[in-house]
Amino acid sequence: MERQASLFGRMMERVGADPGATARDRFDGGFSAACRRCLACQNATDFGRWLEGGGADEPPLFCANAAFLNCVRASGTA
């Protein structure tokens, strides 16, 4: 669980997302849903490699939270 939370936090930093802002109600529970998706993710090893490899400043296509993180970025809270 700690590993997944750490990866999610690192991803939010990578894309420039503010965790406090994303947790607010304006995302209609999206932050908590994103946390659950991250905890259930089967791609943690690939994700860790992607982060270590200096991936782009946008989530990889295999990220279950890519749409959510892109929405956060587009909203200006990133």
What pLDDT, in 10s, does the model give residues 9-51?
888 888 888 777 777 656 667 888 898 999 898 888 888 888 8
- In 3D space, the residue among 75, 78, 8 whose CA is nearest the CA of residue 38 turns out to be 8
The reply to whether the predicted model has a pTM over 0.85 is no
Half-sphere exposure of 54 (CA within 13 A, CB side): 0
